[in-house]
Amino acid sequence: MSFGGPQWPQQPHDPYQQDPYQQNQPYQAGTPDWSALAEASAARTRRRRLLLVGGAALATALVGTVIAVAIVSTGKKSDDGANLADTTSGAPELPTDTAKPQPSFSSVAPPPPPDPMDYISSAQKDRAPLSAESLFPGRKLTMGDRVHRKGATASTTDCATAAEDGLGPVLERNGCLRVIRATYEKDGVAVTVGVALFDTQAAALKAKEQAVGGITPLAGSGVDGFCRAQTVCLRRSNALGRYAYFTQAGFTSGKKVTKADEAVFRTSDDLGTFTFNQIYARGRAQASAAATAPAAGGQ
């Protein structure tokens, strides 16, 4: 880096040199004063050294100034943080005691939800309305990909008239209160399901275990008569709670049912499963109503 002054090499000026154009003589350069040149060079070297030292000192002073400013700024931020800490540390503490009552929790476990079986096992609890339409609603029954069309329905308190071949006396002996029947048909296979109602679960279970004969087939509403005398049909019986239910399935054509007739067995299974679900649904609905009754009453 240059700080100004003459650039080397440069020929020094001779004050005694004559102007060749004025003297009309050939130009001849005088002999240089080497001692003066050396002294001048040394002076310039000293001057350059002083300039370099001065520039370094100035740069050091500038760096020191920047560092000092940074330290002052940092100290200012630290002071602000300290002031902020002092300000927040002086905030009042929240009281640990309060006059308001604290929440309490009972150590007593809540009672278990009502059991649906309790409501369909005793006449004292099973008080929901009961009809052929509530047990067998709609005009058809769909089980999987099978659709059974509903035919006639019936309800009677004379249980013996809804049974045949010895089932009537069994129902009466065990205190049958009512029999509700419904018929379904699919592809020439018809089935009548009869639900017999008793006071207790024990009575319904005895009727199921003592069952002989079957429920009387119910024709009508588009379903021809089936399972007539001298015709073999599929009869089944079961019980759930205070309900015993019976099915009788066969061909509307009068054909005898054999063990190879899967359609008849499948139709009987569908109606038995549906009836089981409908009876249990009664218990579940009444149990749910009983579980929500206290909460509703407290509103």
Structural domain includes residue 106: no
Q: Are residues 145 and 242 part of one domain?
A: yes
Element (H, E) at 117: helix 116-120
Do 169 and 275 share a domain, yes or no? yes
Q: Are residues 125 and 266 in the same domain?
A: yes
Encoded tokens for 41:
């060079």
pLDDT tens profile 234-291 = 999 999 999 999 999 999 999 999 999 999 999 999 999 999 999 999 999 999 998 8
68 or 213, which is more confident? 213
Residue 293 lies in a domain: no
pLDDT band at 111 (very low <50, low <70, confident <90, very high): confident
In a domain, 220, yes or no: yes
The reply to whether 18 falls in a domain is no
What pLDDT band is residue 45 in, cutting at 50, 70 and 90? low
Residue 100 domain-assigned (yes or no): no
- Would residue 101 count as lying in a domain? no
**The dihedral formed by the CA atoms of 64, 67, 69 and 74, expressed in degrees to the nearest 10:** -160
- CA atoms within 13 A of residue 287's CA, in its CB half-sphere: 17
Question: Is the pLDDT reported for residue 25 higher than 70?
Answer: no
Q: Residue 4: inside a domain, yes or no? A: no
Query: Could you tell me the CA-to-CA distances from 12 to 40, 50, 129, 202 in Å, in that order?
Result: 11, 24, 135, 142
The verdict on 42 and 184 lying in the same domain is no
The per-residue b/e assignment along 218-232, b for 16 or more CB within 10 angstroms, e otherwise, is bbeeebeebbeeebe
Q: Which residues pair with 164 in a beta bridge?
A: 214
Higher pLDDT, 65 or 108: 108
Is the pLDDT higher at 36 or at 126? 126
More confident residue, 4 or 296: 296
Tens digit of each residue's pLDDT (9 = 90 or more) over 121-137: 999 999 999 999 999 99
The Cα 212–Cα 226 span in angstroms is 19
108 is a domain residue: no
pLDDT score of 17 more than 60: no
Total count of domains within the chain: 2
Domain range holding 246?
Answer: 118-287
> Which pLDDT does position 275 carry in this prediction?
98
pLDDT digits (tens, 9 = 90+) for 76-106: 444 444 444 444 445 555 555 555 666 666 6
Query: What are the pLDDT digits (tens) for 140-155?
Result: 999 999 999 999 999 9
